[in-house]
Amino acid sequence: MAICSPSSESSSATSGRAWVVHALVVGAAVVAAVGAHAAVYFKWFRKDRSRVVGIIPARFASSRFEGKPLVRILGKPMIQRTWERAKLASTLDHVVVATDSEKIAECCREFGADVIMTSESCKNGTERCNEALQKLGKNYDVVVNIQGDEPLIEPDIIDGVVRALQGAPDAVFSTAVTSLKPEDGLDPNRVKCVVDNHGYAIYFSRGLIPFNKSGKVNPQFPYLLHLGIQSFDSKFLRIYPQLPPTPLQLEEDLEQLKVLENGYKMKVIKVDHDAHGVDTPEDVEKIEALMRERNIS
């Protein structure tokens, strides 16, 4: 807890630097003593947050769409499409599917995915990622939560979110936004985001933010739409589900607000991406039509 809490950030950053200086000295001694060897050398200088795992949480039960991860999109299970895209991301050392369903697990093993079984009691994807991380039993610095219902997610976006977190040691969380279409401005299912000059999130809302005094969507303003992908510092992920719900989180029904309300920083990258989330059976037809149009098979 202390490692991640914002109040101790400066002190842990200081001790982090001290450690690096120490490692430099020891590293130099080792190099001098045994002769320079690239592997040894680079071990001492390994970048923080370098070990990255991508986790695709997938549950079978869903109020809106039972068995959603297994739905076929142009003949291929949706979860397989997401997994294949994730495997192309160059920043991920490992990609796993985390599920509570034997059916999903079996399907995933068939197309070659590593699967971690998680309990049915996981309340949300974040909790499932956390449980999967514990069960993986390996040390990862960064965990990317790759939503299984975005089968067209670009590997570049996954890499972008990971690199954003690697490049912002003061942030515990990173995510992506894209341009909001004006016609989606007043849709509460499209989550809007505002960021500061340095690309850190200020707020997320289901309402239109910023709000123009005309009361209408301003066609000139570059509103931002939040995309589902998130990456976490793994130390933060361990405490995130345990942080008690916060007032803004509850009012907006947006998990990520808990991060900001507790004073943590979140790095946001802007990407070019048409979001094609699959939430309902009707979305499947829409995405198939689009894939045919774009010749994606």
Ligand X SMILES: *[C@@H]1O[C@H](CO)[C@@H](O)[C@H](O)[C@H]1NC(C)=O
Interacting residues toward ligand X by CB under 6 A: 123-124, 126-127, 212-214, 216, 218, 220, 240-241, 245, 255, 258
Total number of residues shown for the chain: 297
Indicate the residue among 260 and 287 with the shorter CB distance to ligand X. Answer: 260
Cα 11 to the center of its chain, rounded Å? 27
Q: How far is the CB of 201 from ligand X (least distance, A)?
A: 14
Q: How far is the CB of 131 from ligand X (least distance, A)?
A: 11
Indicate the residue among 252 and 288 with the shorter CB distance to ligand X. Answer: 252
Distances (CA, A) of 75 to 111, 183, 255, 277: 13, 31, 33, 17
Which residues make Cβ contacts (< 8 Å) with residue 27, sequence separation at least 6?
Answer: 40, 41, 44, 45
- Tell me the three state secondary structure of residue 166: helix
Indicate the residue among 1 and 40 with the shorter CB distance to ligand X. Answer: 1
Report strand pairing: 52-58 vs 224-233. unpaired
Q: How far is the CB of 218 from ligand X (least distance, A)?
A: 4
Beta bridge partners of 96: 55, 114
Q: How far is the CB of 221 from ligand X (least distance, A)?
A: 7
Residue 36 to residue 33: CA distance in whole angstroms? 9
Indicate the residue among 63 and 220 with the shorter CB distance to ligand X. Answer: 220
User: To the nearest 10°, the Cα dihedral for 114, 115, 116, 119?
Assistant: 170
The total of other beta-carbon atoms located within 10 Å of residue 4's CB is 18
Report strand pairing: 192-195 vs 224-233. antiparallel
Q: How far is the CB of 182 from ligand X (least distance, A)?
A: 10
Indicate the residue among 82 and 126 with the shorter CB distance to ligand X. Answer: 126
**Helices 78-87 and 102-110 meet at what angle, rounded to 10?**
50
Distances (CA, A) of 175 to 6, 178, 200, 266, 268: 19, 11, 10, 8, 5
Q: How far is the CB of 129 from ligand X (least distance, A)?
A: 9
Indicate the residue among 12 and 218 with the shorter CB distance to ligand X. Answer: 218
Q: Is the peptide bond before 210 cis (omega within 30 degrees of 0)?
A: yes
Q: How far is the CB of 158 from ligand X (least distance, A)?
A: 19
DSSP label of 200: B
Indicate the residue among 10 and 62 with the shorter CB distance to ligand X. Answer: 62
Q: How far is the CB of 138 from ligand X (least distance, A)?
A: 22
Indicate the residue among 183 and 293 with the shorter CB distance to ligand X. Answer: 183
